[in-house]
Structure 1
């Protein structure tokens, strides 16, 4: 018996504990739900009677409102309780969403009987300096009654206005349909930013209009109201308003703002008035300041510290429809249609048979794969044809490397780094896998036949060259329609850029200029004398001389070069080159020899010494011929005054004069009288050896004897010939050689 009693006791205790736990959990959930749905400050009353009072407004306790301006009074002595702003403005409703408060304000009136004016009440409404303002968009100043004059103005006299209403002889009241068009009723707008309003009434005539069948009283009214909330026909003009305090209190809409500064401004200790989450700040059109609202997809009171709460649209399918998988997102939701269904799940999902989807998808995949295979096979076949056409079967057994097009596209970053452009192509920089920097010469959009001939010709030329002062060919790409040439990358730009653009200081040194001249002459001498068969460069100029990091000269661009057949000294060929550097004899006769390169090299030396561009040389503001100017300065013994290089001692000045004499011989108008490039290279090499002497004291008079004394100085002949030179085609005597000029190639660089 005792055991059974103890068991029952334990069961009762267990049930009681479970009841307490369930009650506690329910209380927590209810409290959390209440806190989440509350619109008032935590711990504050949020209703007065049946009127909800949201924050920033509060009832009675200053801690419940944002500040004193938002503090309201709840009169619980009436039934039901009434909410007031101040002492005499009754509150019907407060809207956080619209930032409005709907209030009831007594109308001003005048009532007459058969003896005259009996009652009079002029209204004075003051909203003080708080956040409230009469809404100019919602309210209208309205007057009811016959032969009535209604006036309004603010307390400061900043504005004034009103309206009047008339009645015909057989009417004693306004229409009962609620219209207000001037017959027994009139309306007018109010201005913005209005905080005070004084209303007074008057009569147009002294004749009192009354309907004796109803009453001996006739009243006129004036008030502010929202016409959408109030029907004027509800006011009886023949009832004594003093009986039972029947004063009409039409609804008046007030706009309010929460702060008077900018949205980001801090206002006292509370700071920014909008909540932390899902809120927006906007400025009021009526009343200086800002107000808060919830972002789309959020709900709640934006003035509370926690801000607005995200709406879980997936929990309310009647309002937020979804025919698929619903997923709530901050401020919105997504709805994904079920598998094999399509459409917008928020609107409707349309189904398609799975077998149709699989069939269509399979057909598309098969078609795409087929197109890709055809494209790959076509591209490979085309690459193989190009490889064979460009002599790849022979070249692949040579020392030159064969690149694939895909490899060059990758190492040049899809030809993204342009180094320069020439007559037939562009040059792009790239980096191989072994960190070797390369320059890829790629054709431009010209005629493919001409481009093929040009690049095959350059391959033929450059493949025979192996000299330290000639740009080295690293490889070829023969799989493209037109071969691509891969050269070693020369990092320091062209000699032209150093002379005319950057005006490099190292070119001020005579030793540096002499070394560059000697290296260039050595490369040209190699082309003329050591190559088999000999090669004429045909476009010697400063922009085709590259400089590496050590300022070593490298001759480049063999696109215009030609091979001299064995046993011949020259070729009759279409004129090609750059005017200003072009041999005048070759230009007028069309006969190309190795001496044409000698002439161009002489122009290059003049450009190197003077720092002037032979194609754009101007003197005294007029275009002039640099070669004539140079020779004239040499003959007048003022050569050192026009040079761009600095001689540090007597030896260097004498070397400059020796090079100047060499230049004059190279620029002789008669090609046969010019020295061969071998002699030019030898003279410059001797000068270099003298320049490298370590003990200058041993440099005697015999050492300084002219190293070019064996080369004739044809100064007069050159002076006469220079009239045929210059950078303008019109300066040449074209009438003397019409037949030859028909052979001039269109690729001459002007």
Structure 2
């Protein structure tokens, strides 16, 4: 009685367990009864006309007096239904018996032939009893069955078909075999094994669902005496003609089973992944987004349902905050990187400036300037940023000129001063020494005819000098027609004044400065002209400050060809007389308007100084004079300057005058020139009605004639003899 109660409870729990295991609730046709007691009735089953697919799927609900709930039966095969799922129905299957006192032996076979139902592959064929040989008959030539034993000795158990599953009968008195697939006839034979002593015992055989086999206690056949049925799984297949197949929403398989006993064919269908419902009525899409357990969209993403599936998209309400956060993060990152880069660059620039300052001789320059009686206070040390701003980052359009020692840029300081910034092109140790010399020398000089140094910069890779801007270029450009301006003529008076000013500046450098300074590169290109055409001596890169009566011995000759002292070129000894020689060449340039190196028609070159000396000795000064000089016709002054130039160009430096003597002589010539102009103005005032007769009598010579320099007296250069005889005023 106890075992029977357990079995009945198990049968009552089976529908509930199967309902919980079902993936989707059954679906019936609209308006049709969907339940019979506790059993759901899905299509193709139904309880009324037009609610089932055909008569084979008709369900009959039967009321019983002893039970409150009606019971469902498949009308065609008259089997009670315990549960219906997709493609399977669990029914109460019969228990076949032999030689059992309270059971009817030789029950008729369970034959499903002609129906869409067949025994599912999930069933197992089970025999109960001692020394029983159970076989399935009515299945053609197949041999399916098993032998049971009277003990748990597995060696005495025999498997006649299929996979060994005798583990279900571990305690003996039973055996289990896998039932053939799509079998429609269940007709077992129960016999005693050959030679068995026990042939009169009770024998049972049945088909049951393997998944529910654990509910049964069949180790003792007597315990099953009260059982009339066991759970049996029936499968079915649908005829294609009675329903519509939609391959986009359902998965269907066609089966054809042929045997000597029956032929079974049809479709088994289920809804595809992402769809639910009854496949024989139509599958509907599952909205996974309504069930958090069906999708994996978390955080800022939202679930978007699609046919048969879903996708995760960024929630639009999060887009703006995300963009703000991302952009803010990127900007913060970029700002941090930029700040770190600027900080690293700033530190690098500071270290680089220190390196350049030291390499460019900053310590040496500070020492030199500090030892020159406070001159360092007159020289400003500019920062690289100041000069970059002043020159528009050294724009090519600001270039004033280029030379062997560097490039000069025009700039404007913050206080509005126009300056010239000299940027050295070579930073070798030799050129660096020249740069230091130029700074030190210019810091000591305070003369109106020497370019004024404002300061320097040592923080850059190449040293920079800042000095006053001279607006009108250099003398070389005016003498040799670099400026094609017919309105401006470099008259003799202007040439004489330039010579006087340059000579005064050099005399100051040689004599009046605290320490004698030798320029070492006097030439017309280094004589600048300001807005009033006053001369300014520039480019002191090669200069040297020397002790009195000291010469400078160099290993490399420095200067410009055409201006070099021949003795310095041969001996490498530079003295104050070397500057005198170079100034003599400039005087000849002022007289002749020719370059220091003359190119002849035969492509040969010769020195202007040598050519001038030859013409002076041959009394042919007229042949070399510039047209503008000849037109002014100041014969006495021109002869005096020419003789002075001849003395400056003496091959022997001891026969050359000093710059102090040259400056004094030019001052005298300038005084003579001014007196002649005053006298000329007085004669013009007294003789208003007549033409003033010029120094040369133009009526007495041919029209093409000019001043007669051929008969002019050639003054021999001596140190003691004065160049010009002046009348006492």
Larger radius of gyration: 2
Normalising by structure 1, what TM-score? 0.45
